[in-house]
Amino acid sequence: MESLILNFKILQKLENLFLKFVSNDLLSLRIEHSCFNECNRGVLKKFVEVLDLQINDCTFKKISFHELFKPYIEYKLSAVGLKNINIKIGDMIFLKNLTNLKELYFSNCNFVNKSYLYLTKLHFMLLTDLSCDSDSENFIDPDFKEVISFLYTEFTSRVFSRGGILFFSRI
Work out the number of other CB atoms within 10 angstroms of the CB of residue 113.
11
- The pLDDT of residue 15: 58
- H-helix segments, 45-164: 89-96, 144-154
- The pLDDT of residue 156: 87
Spatial contact of 86 and 116, defined as CB atoms under 8 Å apart: no
CA nearest to 55, candidates 113, 1, 104: 104
* Phi and psi torsions of 13, nearest 5°: -65, -45
Work out the number of other CB atoms within 10 angstroms of the CB of residue 129.
15
> What secondary structure letter does DSSP report for 87?
E
Q: Model's pTM, two decimal places?
A: 0.85
- The pLDDT of residue 75: 96
Look at the alpha carbons of 99, 111, 104, 34 in this order and tell me if their dihedral is positive or negative.
positive
- The pLDDT of residue 43: 85
Ordered per-residue pLDDT tens for the chain, 171 residues: 555 555 555 555 555 665 566 667 788 888 888 888 888 888 888 889 999 999 999 999 999 999 999 988 999 999 999 999 999 999 999 999 999 999 999 998 999 999 999 999 999 999 999 998 876 555 566 778 888 889 989 998 888 887 655 555 555
- The pLDDT of residue 21: 66
Give the H/E segment covering residue 133: strand 129-133
- The pLDDT of residue 46: 84
Query: Which CATH number applies to 3-168: 3.30.365.10, 3.80.10.10, 3.30.420.40, 3.30.450.40?
Result: 3.80.10.10
